[in-house]
Amino acid sequence: MPVPPGILSQFERALREGRFAQAITHAERAVALSPADAIAMDMLRAALYGAGRYAEALTQARAVVELIPEHAGSWASLGFVLARLGKHVDAAGAFERAGSLDGATPGHAIERITALIHAGLLAEAEIAARGAITRFGPLPDLVFRLSTSLCEQGRTTEAAAELSAALFSDPANVQLALTQCSIGVYSDSISPDALSAMHRNFGRILSQSLTELTRPPTGSRVEPRTADGASGAIAPAARVNGRPGRGAGGRVRVGIISSDFRAHSVAWFSRGVLCGLDRGRFETRVYSTSARADTITARLQEATTAAGGVWIQSAGLSATDLRQRLLTDRIDLLLDLNGLTEGGCWEVLARRAAPVQCSFLGYPHTTGLASVDYRLVDERTDPREPRVDAWHVERLIRVDGGFLCYRPPDAAELPAAARRADPGADRDAEGAIVFGSFNRLAKVSPRCKRVWANVLLRVPGSRLVIKSGTLVSAGAGQRVINDFVSLGVEASRIEIRAGAASVFDHLSQYTDLDIALDTFPYAGTTTTCEALLMGVPVVSLAPPPSRGGTHAHRVGLSLLSQVGLADLAPDDDIAFVEVAAALASDTTRRRELRTTLRSRLLESPLCDERLYGVRLSDALWTAWNDSTQRTPTPSLPA
């Protein structure tokens, strides 16, 4: 018998209102009445999925496709559950099947490509994206995924070209403008001035789209709004200078927001931010917007609470609801750790959710948003030069000593830094050096490959290990090898590795390396700290701003300077080769670094959370109290 209308109505209402336990009860009643009915089973699948019971939802989704194997929507539902469980290859197969049936939509193709990208099957994702564009046309979601698949293969120039062409046809598209920025930071063919212009263009397009979206009907009366946030509008930074905050005792209430408080590179640098602020001046409220929680999330939440902060799980909130939560909580200073990365809250920032808004840590460039008042950097990443300030919409505040604080993995996840033995080869003999890079393949630009090839040619017999989670695809790895062969390096000297199963296994692989080579123009951050932790020196390219050195380019200099290795951050390509070759030939120095680098790192300012808390507190205090001549930026309508 079909599902009774009354049960179906109650189920749909409970699901719509997020009452998943009740939705499950209604769905179970439907299944009990109609045990072989696909609709009843799919009701239970949807309710279990909403409740986060993904393994059980998977059982129901598979049962549904067995009952109605020619229904595209059923295969798509199965794909969503598989993707949530991290079974991305299987999810791609489910979405592919959905796309082959009657009722297929561009959305099925989009989700298939997404799953392939998450699985690291980049060459396959590129083929699927090009096929979908041929079938459905250059939809922004498809162009975005095509460009992402190209970027993650290190083909940033091609990715940028695809985005430019799409934007030419659809110049007001927010998603395309955003993706052009987030991929542009990887490109070695875009000048700093052009990259800055891209970000400003994104800010303009986003602001315009939000204004049009929220513009009241013609003839309607807009009510005046107060300046304290109670009614939705917020006074910009210039109007609150010198005032006490809205926390207890006049403390400044800081909201820290990110989708990356989990197993993500940002998490290794966020503990000092969450826990280190001066409790005499600041209150801390942390807003985690990721639906994915893991052991890292639990550790950060525990540390935040222990430091007197408040942890607020904010996953699933719309931009409007999240902004309203921040307004209700009367946040004085909003510290955004995403920027223009996946999961970012740029709409919240654009509508202004706090009197002072700062960008920090998670993104290496300006947000392009006039409503973001400050960006926290340091003297080495962003020297005090007019051109550097001009690249940013925000005012730059330079954190004394360094803008990052690294929190190493726990001892149980930390292998010894001793060099692995290699029977039959003396690793310290001339010609036996192993260079390596464990950065994302997207960061290995064509210029990077050219310079690295020159290093290999300069050090006879040396090898290069390139490890990236996106090198699961054999096609992507072979393309990298072919690029080096075209530069005169034998294929046998290039070793390709995919991702590791655990932090311990990932770190253990650093012991195969003698010297790490940093990427450019987007330098490594977590990977540089990991290499130093494992006793592996890093050579990083840090050109001055006058020669194109942006923040992303110069992070390596900031990190290496704090452990006394600024000499390993040369300022041009030729010097990079010279420094790497000299270190390769200096057996004594490499042996000394192998045994001392871990302690040097752990005892350096880069890992000193107490000192960092003082420096960061001073920087935020400056942001709160600074007297600025900037034109006040009104908030956009809610």
Q: What pLDDT digit, counting tens, does each position of 6-65 carry?
A: 888 999 999 888 899 999 999 999 999 888 899 999 999 999 999 989 999 999 999 999
* Distance from C-alpha of 291 to C-alpha of 438, rounded to nearest angstrom: 27
Q: What pLDDT digit, counting tens, does each position of 453-480 carry?
A: 999 999 999 999 999 988 877 778 899 9
Is domain 411-607 in CATH 3.40.50.2000, yes or no?
A: yes
Phi, psi of 308 (to 5 degrees): 90, 5
* Distance from C-alpha of 17 to C-alpha of 50, rounded to nearest angstrom: 11
* Distance from C-alpha of 300 to C-alpha of 305, rounded to nearest angstrom: 9
Q: Is the pLDDT of residue 236 over 70?
A: no
For the purposes of burial, counting CB atoms within 10 Å of the CB of 81, is it exposed (0-12), middle (13-18) or buried (19 or more)?
buried
293 vs 337, more confident: 337
> What is residue 474's predicted lDDT score, i.e. its pLDDT?
75
Residue ranges of domains in the chain? 238-405+611-625, 411-607
Q: What pLDDT digit, counting tens, does each position of 339-361 carry?
A: 999 899 999 999 999 999 999 99
Task: For 238-405+611-625, give the CATH class.
Answer: alpha beta
CB 173 within 8 A of CB 205: yes
Q: In 266-401, where do the E strands start and end? A: 282-288, 310-313, 333-336, 356-359, 374-377, 395-398
In degrees, to the nearest 5, what angle opens at C-alpha 398 toward C-alphas 394 and 399?
A: 130
Q: Which residues pair with 295 in a beta bridge?
A: none
Residue 151's pLDDT band, with cuts at 50, 70 and 90, is very high
CB 273 within 8 A of CB 616: yes
Residue 185's pLDDT band, with cuts at 50, 70 and 90, is very high
Residue 633's pLDDT band, with cuts at 50, 70 and 90, is low
Task: Retrieve residue 145's tokens.
Answer: 């995924």
Q: Is the pLDDT of residue 143 over 90?
A: yes
Task: Retrieve residue 179's tokens.
Answer: 């993706």
Amino acid at position 477, single letter: G
Lay out the sheet containing 538-539: strands in order across.
494-497, 463-467, 434-437, 515-517, 538-539
Among 336, 286, 287, smallest CA distance to 306 is for: 286
The alpha-helical segments, DSSP class H, found in 69-105 are 72-84, 88-99
Q: Give me the sign of the Cα torsion angle 368, 372, 377, 383.
A: positive
Contacts of 294 (CB under 8 A, 6+ apart): 262, 263
Average pLDDT, the chain: 90
Q: What does the pLDDT average to over 589-597?
A: 95
- 238-405+611-625 and 411-607 have identical folds: yes
In degrees, to the nearest 5, what angle opens at C-alpha 105 toward C-alphas 102 and 106?
A: 145
Residue 449's pLDDT band, with cuts at 50, 70 and 90, is very high
Q: Is the pLDDT of residue 237 over 50?
A: no
* Distance from C-alpha of 610 to C-alpha of 414, rounded to nearest angstrom: 22
Residue 224's pLDDT band, with cuts at 50, 70 and 90, is very low
Query: Which three-class secondary structure state does DSSP give residue 173?
Result: coil
Q: Is the pLDDT of residue 234 over 60?
A: no
For the purposes of burial, counting CB atoms within 10 Å of the CB of 158, is it exposed (0-12), middle (13-18) or buried (19 or more)?
middle
> What is residue 431's predicted lDDT score, i.e. its pLDDT?
47
> What is residue 450's predicted lDDT score, i.e. its pLDDT?
97
Q: Is the pLDDT of residue 365 over 80?
A: yes
CA atoms within 13 A on the CB side of 573: 14
* Distance from C-alpha of 574 to C-alpha of 576, rounded to nearest angstrom: 5
CA distances from 435 to 515, 597, 601 (A): 5, 17, 21
Contacts of 93 (CB under 8 A, 6+ apart): none
Task: Retrieve residue 460's tokens.
Answer: 């006879």
Residue 104's pLDDT band, with cuts at 50, 70 and 90, is confident
CB 143 within 8 A of CB 163: yes
Task: Retrieve residue 85's tokens.
Answer: 């469980």
> What is residue 432's predicted lDDT score, i.e. its pLDDT?
83
Strands 252-258 and 395-398: unpaired
Q: What does the pLDDT average to over 520-535?
A: 97
CB 289 within 8 A of CB 317: yes
Q: What percent of the chain has pLDDT over 70?
A: 91
> What is residue 358's predicted lDDT score, i.e. its pLDDT?
97
CB 529 within 8 A of CB 559: yes
> What is residue 216's predicted lDDT score, i.e. its pLDDT?
47
For the purposes of burial, counting CB atoms within 10 Å of the CB of 169, is it exposed (0-12), middle (13-18) or buried (19 or more)?
exposed
Q: What is the pTM of this model?
A: 0.87
> What is residue 469's predicted lDDT score, i.e. its pLDDT?
83
b (16+ CB within 10 A) / e for 92-118: bbbbbbbbebeebebebbbbbbbbbbb
The alpha-helical segments, DSSP class H, found in 343-473 are 346-350, 386-390, 446-458
CB 42 within 8 A of CB 72: no
Task: Retrieve residue 287's tokens.
Answer: 């807003």
Contacts of 496 (CB under 8 A, 6+ apart): 466, 467, 471, 477, 480, 481
Q: What percent of the chain has pLDDT over 90?
A: 78
| CB atoms closer than 10 angstroms to residue 424 | 4
Among 587, 592, 527, smallest CA distance to 556 is for: 527
Q: What does the pLDDT average to over 260-284?
A: 94
